Structure 1
C-alpha cells in the first residue's frame, strides 16, 4: 500500500506496510468490513488459481468452487444467496455496486487494474472477479418479487453439449418463467465460463439442477407431470393442416432438434448406439402434434435434445410413460432444422402462453 494513492483508508496492525497482507477498513455505503490486500508478488498464485478453477471442470467439482466475472453476475449470485469466498477487484466503483452486507465473511483483494486482463480470456476483461462456493439450487433463493411467480413448466436438457446453446436455453427458460431446468449427465457443465457469461445471470433466476441420471429426473418433478419432447421426425399433413401423420426416423436420437419437411436427414450410426435397446420401439406410440395445439394441462416437462446426439431413448420412454407427445415446429420446405436453443425458446413461450390461459380460465 505504501506509495500508492487509495480511495479507501488503511489501518495496519503493523507499522511495516511491506507485509504480505494489510488489514484495511473500507468506508463504502456506510458498510465497514475487513479487506485483505495482497501485494504484487502474490498475484501469480492468484492468477494460476483463478484460471485453473475456471477452465477445469474436474477442479471445479473437486474444490466445489466456480469463478464469476463482472459486477452484474456477481451481484445476481449474491442476491440469490450464493456464497462468495474471495473477491478480486481493481476498481472500487465496481465493488461499491455489490451488496456489501453480504460480503462480511468474504476475503476481498485489491489488485492492479491490468491484472484481470491477464486472468480473463474475455476480449474486454471485467474489473471484478470472484470465487464462489459452487452453488446448489436447493441453497439458493429466487425472488418472486423480482422475477415473478414461475409457471409449472420444467425444461429438461438432454445431452446439450454446446456452451452457447445451453446458455441461450437457460436465458429462454428464465425469461419464460420456468419452474426449473434439469440437466442430464452428458450436458456441458453449467458452471463452465462460456455458459456463465452467455447466460447473463440466468443461473440465479431459477433452479438449475445439473448432472442428473434419467432415474433421478422423476424425483424433481411432480408425480402428475406430463413430459413432452421436441420432435425431429418427418411429417405429412392432412388436408385440414391440423393432423400430423409421422413418418418415423430410424431411432430416437434422430429427434434431437426440429425439422420442417418430410425428408429425413441421412445419419450414420455405430452399432453400439443400439446396445441394450434392441427391444425398444423408438417411441413410436408417442403422438406427434403441432406445438401451437394445446399440450399443457398440469405441471409440464419439456425435453430438448442436443444437436450432435439428439434425444436419448430414456427421454422418449419418460414421455411415453407420462402420456406425453412429440411437439413439431413446422417450417418451410428447404429449411433443414432449428437448433436446440431456438426450438426451446419457441416451445417454452408457447407453453407459458397455454399455462397462463389455463390459469385465467380457472379463476
Structure 2
C-alpha cells in the first residue's frame, strides 16, 4: 500500500505497539492518533481486534491509509519488525505520587496510561496465580525505571506499548521493554479518577513523544549550523 507523500515526509522514528486492544472504537481512535503524531508504523499483537473491522475503520477516520499497520503479530516476531537499537517504553498504571525510579512491575498492571487515584485505590489485574507460584512470578517480572510521561524519554528510534483496559500489559510487553532499556511512562491523574481510556492515554504519550523528538531534532539542527571557530 502507498501512503500520502506529506505523511511520509512528516513521519518520525516513533512506533506504536498495541497489546490486547480489543475494543474497536479504541483501536480506531488509537490509529487516528498514531497517524496524527506521525508514527512510522503501528504493530498489533495477537489479541487485538481486527484493524479492518468496520467499527475500527469508522473510528480511524482514514488513518488506515496514512500509517503502515502490521497486525496479528506473535510477540516473538515483534522485534523483527522494529528498527535496530530501538528503545521500547510502556504506558502503565501506577501511583502518580510514587517517586519515579526503578520499580517492579506488578502482574496485570498496565491499563494503558492509567493510574490509581491513591495508594489505597485498587488496581485491576489479571487473575491471581496460585499462592505457591506467586513468588516465582514476582521474581520473573522485569524491573523498569518509571517516570512521568512529560519527562525526557523519546530518543530516536523509540516505540510505545499501549495495553488494553481489560487485561493491561502482557508479561511479553514488559519483557520486551526491559530488554531494550525501556521505561514505564506514568500519566498522573487527579485523585478520584480511576484510570484513563487506553485511546486517550495513547494520544497523550504519542504526542508528547512527537514533541520531544521534534525538539531534539531542532536542537541538533541548531548545533550543526553553529560556525566553526577559525
TM-score (norm 2): 0.86
> In structure 2, which of residues 147, 154, 159 is the aligned counterpart of residue 296 of structure 1?
154
Q: Which residue of 2 aligns with 1:181?
A: 42
Cα gap change, 1:188 to 1:280, in 2 (>3 Å): farther
* 1:250-265 correspondence runs (5 A): 250-251=106-107, 253-257=108-112, 258-261=114-117, 262=119, 263-265=121-123
Aligned residue for 2:38, secondary structure, equals coil
Structure 1: how far apart are the matches of 2:105 and 2:87? 23
Cα gap change, 1:247 to 1:332, in 2 (>3 Å): farther
Q: How many Å apart are 1:249 and its aligned residue?
A: 6.3
Aligned residue for 1:210, secondary structure, equals strand
Q: Which residue of 2 aligns with 1:82?
A: none
Aligned partners of 2:17 and 2:42 also within 8 Å: yes
Structure 1: how far apart are the matches of 2:37 and 2:156? 17
Structure 2: how far apart are the matches of 1:322 and 1:267? 25
Structure 1: how far apart are the matches of 2:85 and 2:157? 7
Aligned residue for 1:229, secondary structure, equals strand
Aligned partners of 2:83 and 2:157 also within 8 Å: yes
> In structure 2, which of residues 72, 83, 100 is the aligned counterpart of residue 244 of structure 1?
100
Structure 2: how far apart are the matches of 1:268 and 1:320? 20
Q: Which residue of 1 aligns with 2:141?
A: 282
* 1:1-363 correspondence runs (5 A): 140-145=1-6, 148-237=9-98, 243-244=99-100, 250-251=106-107, 253-257=108-112, 258-261=114-117, 262=119, 263-267=121-125, 269=127, 271=129, 278=137, 281-283=140-142, 285-363=143-221
Aligned residue for 1:307, secondary structure, equals coil
Which structure: larger Rg? 1
Cα gap change, 1:348 to 1:322, in 2 (>3 Å): same
Q: Deviations over 1:80-103 (max 9, x none)?
A: xxxxxxxxxxxxxxxxxxxxxxxx
Q: How many Å apart are 1:204 and its aligned residue?
A: 0.5
Cα gap change, 1:249 to 1:197, in 2 (>3 Å): same
Cα gap change, 1:200 to 1:268, in 2 (>3 Å): closer
Structure 1: how far apart are the matches of 2:7 and 2:78? 28
Aligned partners of 2:96 and 2:189 also within 8 Å: no
User: Counting strand residues as a fraction of each chain, which structure ranks higher?
Assistant: 1
Aligned partners of 2:109 and 2:124 also within 8 Å: no
Aligned partners of 1:236 and 1:245 also within 8 Å: no
Q: Which runs of 5+ in 2 are unaligned?
A: 222-230
TM-score (norm 1): 0.56
Q: Which runs of 5+ in 1 are unaligned?
A: 1-139, 238-242
Aligned partners of 1:306 and 1:340 also within 8 Å: yes
